[in-house]
Amino acid sequence: MSAAEGPLVVGVDSSTQSTKVLVVDAATGRVVASGHAPHTVSGGAGRESDPRQWWDALRAALHSCGEAAHEAAAVSVAGQQHGLVTLDGRGEPVRPALLWNDVRSAPQARRLVAELGGATAWSERTGSVPGASFTVTKWAWLAENEPEAARSTAAVRLPHDYLTGRLTGEGTTDRGDASGTGWWASATETYDEDVLGRVGLDPALLPRLVRPGEVAGTVRDVHDLPFSKGTLVAPGTGDNAAAALGLGLRPGTPVLSLGTSGTVYAVSVHRPADPSGTVAGFADARGDWLPLACTLNCTLAVDRIAALLGRDREAVEPGGAVTLLPYLDGERTPNLPDASGLLHGLRHDTTAGQLLQAAYDGAVHSLLGALDRVLDQDADRTTPLLLIGGGARGTAWQQTVRRLSGRPVQVPEARELVALGAAAQAAALLTGEDPAAVARRWRTADGPVLAAVERDDTTLARISGVLSDAAPLLERGTRNH
Helices (H), 222-296: 239-246
From the list 389, 382, 424, the residue with the least C-alpha distance to 407 is 382
Contact 278, 375 (CB under 8 A): no
CA distance 172 to 307: 41
Amino acid at 439: A
The per-residue b/e assignment along 352-362, b for 16 or more CB within 10 angstroms, e otherwise, is bbbbbbbbbbb
Task: Name the active-site residue from 13, 161, 239, 274.
Answer: 239
CA distance 34 to 399: 30
Q: Which residues pair with 323 in a beta bridge?
A: 344
Write down how long the chain is. 481
From the list 302, 290, 305, 294, the residue with the least C-alpha distance to 391 is 302
From the list 246, 96, 111, the residue with the least C-alpha distance to 182 is 111
**Residue 113: its H or E element:** helix 106-115
Residue 59, C-beta contacts closer than 8 angstroms, at least 6 positions apart: 223, 224, 225
Task: Reply yes or no on whether 288 is catalytic.
Answer: no
The per-residue b/e assignment along 114-134, b for 16 or more CB within 10 angstroms, e otherwise, is eebeebeebbbbbbbbbbbbb
* Catalytic annotation, residues: 239
